[in-house]
Chains A and B, each alone.
Chain A
């Protein structure tokens, strides 16, 4: 579905992403785990082309080379990004936010049916359609953001820390919704701090450190990997007071 290779990004002299390659299949949830500043947000932005990547990268979506497409045309190809901080239109209503999601031509014909599906996924939104998005709770705003992305009828959904700032109950609801999104055949690339929850739901995972992919594998295997447990699941290393990992 989505194949990325040779992706590098520099901010001035600072190399934030170094030759990253990864893939997301249809109906698959892939999670990217990494510490603060590892380059997770940069990775999603570079894939969605909202930050300039270095030449030589290759982004293939549904068999088509889309490396050179600007951000707004990538949406048209089926790539939807829910950015860090949600990026909803705070001054517009929930309904307007969702309908703007269906702005791409690929989404217009099925707009009404997609809206119904999104509201079935996030029933709380149906009572709030007329509300100004800015006045919603954090969790509800995240639902608007994901709902808006789904309205574009994507084949691949990129999510940047969707559970940030949500209560455990709300994050549970959110991860359950992601499971149902996967059932519709959409590939999900998820950046998360909540390693426990995301590894529980994901099919595969990549580990990223200072801009490089340092590990990957099926989520079930990484869940049991002692190094991963130490680094991301907060387990103390045997015989060491502080977790340390290479």
Chain B
């Protein structure tokens, strides 16, 4: 059934967008770092997953247990070494945004260069759970369903943590108003660093999940950064719920256009939706930060 095919495919694709964008919205919306190397971190995680599966014969889900924390730690290190000096000298959030674009642009080339040296330019993939599953007459590979399920669990978990815990509320407070956040005793730089690291962890998780069913190569990071940024801005910068909804929406729209019109038009559909959302709601679907 075509409709069900589109809905299933769209949700799975959108689930990946939503997860990947939620990491970027934490980095951009809370830490105010526009991380141009975001997609490279995702690709690095995909390669790490590839190595674990092919060389060590581990399941990628098991790899997730290592790669997600590794993404967190690596991002935390990047924040401390590369970005804290920029945070210290930035007079305004806007200045930090510009500085961080330049710094992470450099980082992009370092990570991408390393990936090219180690893996060359060719495409990689591995086979994991590529058995078809039939849902109400529609067939989907099991690996995609699993990736969607894991993404959903992570997204719901991180949303609940942001809404329900003290640290989560502090993260949202920093996203909304860092000057006021310090007046309630929040160490803004520490919370921003934590949010940046958390975003890196989610990004790495996204890389592992995507590697379960997509072919990827060392040059693909930029595509993920761009898509994630589109979703983040559509949802409202710093707004987790916005990133999740906008991610799912983009997945559904892209899949519909690919299936009903022409696969060559998906990128046009992406930017068509992007423009439409921004024309109607310039601050994104859910406005600025907060929820």
A and B interact physically: yes
Residue numbers of A with Cβ under 8 A of B are 48, 50, 70-73, 75-76, 80-81, 83, 87-92, 96, 99-101, 103-104, 132, 148-149, 152
Number of A-B residue pairs, CB cutoff 8 Å, is 68
The reply to whether B290 and A91 contact each other, CB–CB distance below 8 Å, is: yes
Cα-based distance from A81 to B183 in the complex (angstroms): 7
Q: Out of A50, A81, A89, name the residue touching B176 (CB < 8 Å).
A: A89
CB distance from A66 to the nearest CB of B (A): 13
Looking at chain A's contact residues, the main secondary structure is: mixed
**B139 part of interface (Cβ distance < 8 Å):** no
- Chain A residues contacting B287 (CB-CB under 8 Å) are 91
A72 partner, pick from B188, B288, B289, B291, beta carbons under 8 A: B188
B residues lining the A interface (CB < 8 Å): 166, 169-170, 172-173, 176-177, 179-180, 182-188, 287-291
- Chain B min CB distance to A133 (Å): 10
Beta-carbon contact of A72 and B169 below 8 Å: no
A-B contact pairs, 23 of them (CB 8 A): A50-B179, A72-B185, A72-B186, A72-B187, A73-B185, A75-B185, A76-B185, A81-B183, A83-B180, A87-B183, A89-B173, A90-B177, A91-B176, A91-B287, A100-B169, A100-B173, A101-B184, A103-B170, A103-B186, A104-B184, A148-B184, A149-B183, A152-B185
A75 to B176 alpha-carbon distance, docked (Å): 19
Closest to B166 in A: A103
- Minimal beta-carbon separation of A69 from chain B (angstroms): 11
CB-contact partner of A104 in B180, B185, B290, under 8 A: B185
Shortest distance from the beta carbon of A12 to any chain B beta carbon, whole Å: 13
Given A100-B173, A103-B170, the answer on whether A88 and B185 have CB atoms closer than 8 Å is no
Which residue of chain B has its CB nearest to the CB of A96? B169
Bound-state Cα–Cα, A87 to B184, Å: 10
Report the bound CA distance from A50 to B178 in whole Å: 12
